[in-house]
Amino acid sequence: MKKSLVAGNWKMYKTPQESVTFVQELKRSVKNYEDRDILVCPPFTSLVPVSELLKDTPIKLGAQNVYFEEEGAFTGEVSAKMLKEVGVSCVICGHSERRNIFMETNEIINKKVKKTISTGMTAILCVGEKLEEREDEKTFDIIETQVQRCLDGIDNTEGLVIAYEPVWAIGTGKNATPEQAEEVHLFIKELVSKLFGSSSAESILILYGGSVKPENIDLLMAQKDIDGVLVGGASLKLDSFLRIIDYR
């Protein structure tokens, strides 16, 4: 049976010291699970100290971004090799904040996904429609374009996770209903089946993200095609993150 994934995306929150304090408490309080993986994605400056703390624990370490070149004169960027060396195993690629604030295109994200996977890490590819796109009934078109373009030239789903994060649900407190999320997850799964074959569609993890909270986690995780969650705000507080991890 495939394991689910509960991932915390801390965005631009927590200094290195705050990250260390949080992870020390998380380590102390989290239960042992056989059926789910746990991932934390702190800011770059916290990766090294958090990585030290997570050694010999089942909690995995992720990064929120990466640059696709091997190395060079790219001021302000961080390479996949640098992340791998400090213990990062997953990289969030194409988060909607990267797309909308930092103007990342599907083509740039495609390069980041490829670099992440070829460096031996897992790429968590984020896709999702904006509110006006949903209202114009373009959700499926947008998702299909994002998935196809961001996975262009990739021939299997090894090292790939897809996160469906409707932009209108991120940080708004307004989550997609479990039924709305399930509908898009099923669509993504069918798309993966078309692109990579049915066994890939069965084995790939498709996460939901957007205002995941203790109050809605159980219903979201009860959906057939929701294989985990990517949590923003509610992953920053120990109580709420622990309750989300402990979904029933």
Catalytic residues, by residue number, are 95, 165
DSSP state of 175: P
Among 6, 161, 230, 244, binds ligand 13P (CB under 6 A): 230
Site for ligand 13P in 92-121 (CB under 6 A): 95
Q: What's the sign of the alpha-carbon dihedral 41, 43, 46, 48?
A: positive
Among 4, 5, 6, 9, binds ligand 13P (CB under 6 A): 9
Among 209, 216, 245, 247, binds ligand 13P (CB under 6 A): 209
Nearest distance, CB of residue 157 and ligand 13P, angstroms: 20
Q: Which residue has the tokens 């968590």?
A: 124
Candidates 109, 112, 114, 119; CA nearest to 88 is: 119
Q: Which residues of 209-239 are buried (b: 16+ CB within 10 A; e: fewer)?
A: bbbbebebbeebbebebbbbbbbbbbbbebe
Q: Is 197 in the site for ligand 13P (CB under 6 A)?
A: no
Q: Is 211 in the site for ligand 13P (CB under 6 A)?
A: yes
Cβ-based nearer residue to ligand 13P, 95 or 114: 95
Segment interacting with ligand 13P (CB under 6 A) among 28-36, 104-112, 144-152, 209-217: 209-217
Q: Is 232 in the site for ligand 13P (CB under 6 A)?
A: yes
> What separation in angstroms does the CA of 45 have from each of 17, 63, 109, 177, 245?
10, 10, 22, 35, 24
Query: What is the contact surface with ligand 13P in residues (CB under 6 A)?
Result: 9, 95, 165, 170-171, 209-212, 230-234
